[in-house]
Amino acid sequence: MATRNRTAMYRKHRDAVKSVRAPLSSSASGSGGPVIEMASLLSSNRSSYAPLSTEDPGPSSRDAFTVGLPPAWVDDSEEVAVNIQQARVKMTELVKVHAKALMPSFGDGKEDQHMIEALTLEITDILRRSEKRLQKLSASGSAEDSNIRKNVQRSLATDLQNLSMDLRRKQSTYLKRLQQQKEGPDGVDLEMNLSGNKSRLEDDEFNDMSINDYQMRKLKKSEQITGEREREIQQVVQSVNDLAQIMKDLSVLVIDQGTIVDRIDYNIQTVAVSVDEGLKQLQKAERTQKKGGMVMCATVLVIMCFFMLVLLILKEIFFSS
Amino acid sequence: MSLVTAVRDYINRMLQDISGMKVLILDSHTVSTVSVAYSQSELLQKEVFLVELVDSISKSKESMSHLKAVFFLRPTSENIQRLRRQLASPRFGEYHLFFSNLLKDTQIHNLADSDEQEVVQQVQEFYADFVAIDPYHFTLNVPSNHLYILPAVVDPPSLQNFCDRVVDGIAAVFLAFKRRPIIRYQRTSDIAKRIAQETAKLMYQQESGLFDFRRTEVSPLLLVIDRRDDPLTPLLNQWTYQAMVHELIGIQDNKVDLRSTGKFPTDQQEVVLSSEQDSFFKANMYENFGDIGMNIKRLVDEFQQIAKSNQNIQTIEDMAKFVDNYPEYKKMQGNVSKHVTLVTEMSKIVEERKLMLVSQTEQELACNGGQVAAFEAVTNLLNNESISDIDRLRLVMLYALRYEKESPVQLMQLFNKLASRSAKYKPGLVQFLLKQAGVDKRTGDLYGNRDFLNIARNMARGLKGVENVYTQHQPLLFQTMESIIKGRMRDVDYPYVGNHFQQGRPQEVVIFIVGGTTYEESRSVALQNASNSGIRFVLGGSVVLNSKRFLKDLEEAQRIARPSTTVL
């Protein structure tokens, strides 16, 4: 695709114009004789050269201009962006720990589980905090600023939503694979089996123990297993709830791709329409205020007051002498 | 060589090198160009957090110097004036100016003069000066399209503006593709000749350096033809999805505005029909109405299945899966309701206007012979109370275009009947059409009855029978494309500009129809491109026509032309 850069020509001309402007201003004070004479010739009566200062005001004002401070909410949005970046880094860590935990090992695997839990909690926490901060972003401000703020919100919300969906997906694949490993190729719970074997061993060894004892121990074991299962389920439910909550909040902010709301010209139109509407409402309010009965009443009352005053004065003049 | 990809590449390049928060400022033409190729969410990803029109931006006084402004405008004098005012009191930190076509040196000087604060960082020409509605179909959205019908003496400055806009648009297409074409035009059309010659002057003389690209073996071809050579296609009712929506409701820049046809919930008042973003639409845009109905039913069934399984959440895994798939589900729901709404609306309109009946006669008028039968059919429909005025007008026009020489008496009868039945009919419109696009004015063989080969082909088709009565018609463009593929386009009908000549067959062809294209023709082009003939066609026009728009242009031209004819 062809393009053409006209910046060079533009700059050349701009510099030429600047150099024409500059000597006129700097020589107003100096002793550039011919230039001053020329100036006075050209503008004998006009005082158009009066406000010229001796120094070139260009660079300093330019600097002051371009160093305008952004509004406060930009800091918030930048923080959210940084958090999102952090969350991404932690997610890659999480993926690595998941992979390590899934590999068969001789150890307990408990510390891997801890790390996974800790990381997942951290990431969910970051996401929740960012989401809360994002909600706060829609505070008051000027009209045009609000458009920009809304768009910044939208873009960060999309990123957050994608991240949380990613986290969910990674979690579910990990759990699925973990489940597969535990069950083994027979689809039977190996752990259960092991414990079952153990119980049979115990059976053989301690078959002269009282039946109650044995049954109590078996009961306790199954209670333990159920307790663990329950905890796992609770965790999953908790994380699903958290992320569902985040998704629900964010989906209000995120644009549905491919719909009319995703069209640039539609968004420009709605801004124009709402600004127009606002103007119309203001005008209407102004008109009703002007036409208002209040104004009429007030004027009538004032007129009556003057009338009464005149009557009073007349009464004084005619009847008190 | 896709138009949409070209525009997207331009916009990507505009935004990629500028870091930080940006504002994108467009004018009323470039907003169409950008909106069909780029979505709001993609802009947000590129950190463009505000989009404004250049005319509304001057009203605000707020200074936002932490933002960088990216302007993408057409280089018109009004835009340059607005820019100058902006630069005199800048609101943004940096200004990056991109223009969609060639800048004149004086315009650059004017801008440089106003840039006292030196906020402008770059000035570039990025040639996205057309609206890429489909990968191989573009339009220019020219406002006063009816000017192409009028002779040059009526309003020379407006016609010059029209030609300039068209030449700019065509030049931008070739700059985007980095090609310089051989140019041919339709001999019988003055305006086609003028546009072809002015384009050649621009590409080979005025800006020959800019257009001096690497030469391919065979140069591409630009063919400029006139709408009046095929007045039949815009008048016909359409039965393939995209063309039908435009004919019955109206598509503008890939958006459909349903507010005029009835009451709808807010999120369905305006919908987007873009082949790039909607895969169902992409698969069905050229299918006929019956097949669309079936496909939509299938889509709805699929969706209902998913909806049912979503309600059936019993285990935690189900819940998790639901949360995962929710965005997809919502998107599908929106899509399904959009297509169902459109098809329902169109069915309602077909029912109200008895279009099945009308269209059958139209297709017979367009494709088959039999003057007597045609006259009877048209008379019957004119007498039918439930046919609307515009449909009556179209039928008489179609009859007149085909049988204008065969029996003038019967033609007069039809005119009188039309005038007496239709209150809104402007007398003389049909005669005006015949004067502009009658059999004497046309180059192409519109009805296949001039050339022995075509007559034989028609007879063969008649014997074979047609699959679908309602989609029998093939636009004249199809024959034009065939003759290009076979290398059999006659020089006497379509001469070359200047001393150009083409050896062999071109690989890339851009056909520009002055006066507007139709979606039926873009369908022809797309199907031709899909058939792997080795040649890629791109179609473009000043606007995209449907029958309402075509008739409006005719009426407008007649209104302007009439005073001068009555004086004579």
What are the DSSP calls for A267-317, one per residue? Answer: HHHHHHHHHHHHHHHHHHHHHHHHH-HHHHHHHHHHHHHHHHHHHHHHHHH
Q: Which residue would you say has higher pLDDT here, B418 or B248?
A: B248
Q: Which two tokens stand for residue B497?
A: 């500009």
Chain-wide mean pLDDT for chain A? 73
- Provide mean pLDDT across the span B271-284: 92
Q: CB distance A151–B21 less than 8 Å?
A: no
Q: Cα separation of B312 and B97, whole Å?
A: 55
Which residues in chain A have their CB less than 8 angstroms from residue B116's CB? 21, 58
Q: Cα separation of B448 and B476, whole Å?
A: 9
Of the ranges A191-200, B5-14, B500-509, the best mean pLDDT one: B5-14
Q: Cα separation of B197 and A3, whole Å?
A: 24
The full DSSP string for B304-337 is HHHHHHHH---SHHHHHHHHHHHHHHHHHHHHHH
Distance from CA of B237 to the nearest CA of A (A): 27
> Under DSSP, is residue A32 helix (H, G, I), strand (E, B) or coil?
coil
Q: Cα separation of B96 and B124, whole Å?
A: 8
User: Is residue A37 over pLDDT 80?
Assistant: no
Per-residue pLDDT tens digits for A139-149:
655 666 777 88
Distance from CA of A21 to the nearest CA of B (A): 10
- What pLDDT score does A287 carry? 83
CA distance to A162, A178, A236, per residue, from A99 (Å): 22, 10, 19
B326 lies within 8 A of chain A by CB: yes
User: Is residue A183 over pLDDT 80?
Assistant: no
Of the ranges A49-58, A258-267, B152-161, the best mean pLDDT one: B152-161
Q: CB distance A4–B210 less than 8 Å?
A: yes
Residue A301 confidence class, pLDDT cut points 50, 70, 90: very high
- What pLDDT score does A33 carry? 44
- Provide mean pLDDT across the span B58-78: 85
* Token pair 């949005």: residue: A77
CB nearest to B115's CB, from A14, A256, A267: A14
Q: CB distance A4–B39 less than 8 Å?
A: no
Tell me the backbone φ, ψ of residue A47, rounded to 5 degrees. Answer: -105, 35
Largest Cα–Cα distance in chain B? 86
CA distance to B129, B186, B394, B446, B513, per residue, from B201 (Å): 19, 17, 39, 32, 19
DSSP 8-state symbol, A260: G
Q: Would you say how long chain A is, in residues?
A: 321
User: Is residue B376 over pLDDT 80?
Assistant: yes
Q: Is residue B71 packed enough to be buried (19+ CB in 10 Å), middle (13-18) or exposed (0-12)?
A: buried
Q: Which two tokens stand for residue A55?
A: 């120094």
- Provide mean pLDDT across the span B495-510: 88
Residues 346-405 of B with CB under 8 A from A: none
Q: CB distance B330–A256 less than 8 Å?
A: yes
Q: CB distance B115–A9 less than 8 Å?
A: no
Which residues in chain B have their CB less than 8 angstroms from residue A151's CB? 44, 49-50
- What pLDDT score does B61 carry? 67
Distance from CA of A145 to the nearest CA of B (A): 9
Q: CB distance B50–A151 less than 8 Å?
A: yes
Chain-wide mean pLDDT for chain B? 89
β-pairing, B255-257 vs B270-272, is antiparallel
- Provide mean pLDDT across the span A108-137: 81
Residues 472-491 of B with CB under 8 A from A: none
- What pLDDT score does B226 carry? 95
Q: Cα separation of B361 and B398, whole Å?
A: 10
Interface test with B, best of A19, A60, A151 (most B CBs within 10 A): A151
The three state secondary structure string of A150-201 is HHHHHHHHHHHHHHHHHHHHHHHHHHHHHHHHHHCCCCCCHHHHHHHHHHHH
CB A148, CB B49: distance < 8 Å: yes
User: Is residue A44 over pLDDT 50?
Assistant: no
CA distance to A192, A215, A217, A251, B140, per residue, from A221 (Å): 10, 10, 6, 45, 78
> What's the number of CA atoms in the CB half-sphere (13 Å) around residue A7?
14
Give the whole-number percent of chain B exceeding pLDDT 90: 57
Per-residue pLDDT tens digits for A167-177:
878 887 887 78
Q: Cα separation of A259 and B274, whole Å?
A: 10
Distance from CA of B442 to the nearest CA of A (A): 37
- What pLDDT score does B462 carry? 65
Interacting residues of A7 by C-beta distance below 8 A, sequence separation 6+: B121, B122, B123, B124
User: Is residue A43 over pLDDT 70?
Assistant: no
β-pairing, B131-134 vs B120-126, is unpaired
Q: Cα separation of A71 and A68, whole Å?
A: 9
User: Is residue A211 over pLDDT 50?
Assistant: yes
Interacting residues of A48 by C-beta distance below 8 A, sequence separation 6+: none
Q: What is the C-alpha R_g of chain B? A: 26
Interacting residues of B186 by C-beta distance below 8 A, sequence separation 6+: B192, B193, B224, B225, B226, B229, B443, B493, B494
Q: Is residue B34 packed enough to be buried (19+ CB in 10 Å), middle (13-18) or exposed (0-12)?
A: buried
* Token pair 């959205």: residue: B141
What is the CA A113 to chain-centroid distance, rounded?
A: 33
- What pLDDT score does B66 carry? 86
Q: CB distance B123–A158 less than 8 Å?
A: no
Give the whole-number percent of chain A exceeding pLDDT 90: 11
B296 φψ region: left (φ > 0), alpha (ψ -120 to 50), beta (else)? alpha
For the ranges A22-26, A158-162, A163-167, B373-377, the lowest mean pLDDT is seen at A22-26
For the ranges A48-62, A240-254, B4-18, B362-376, the lowest mean pLDDT is seen at A48-62
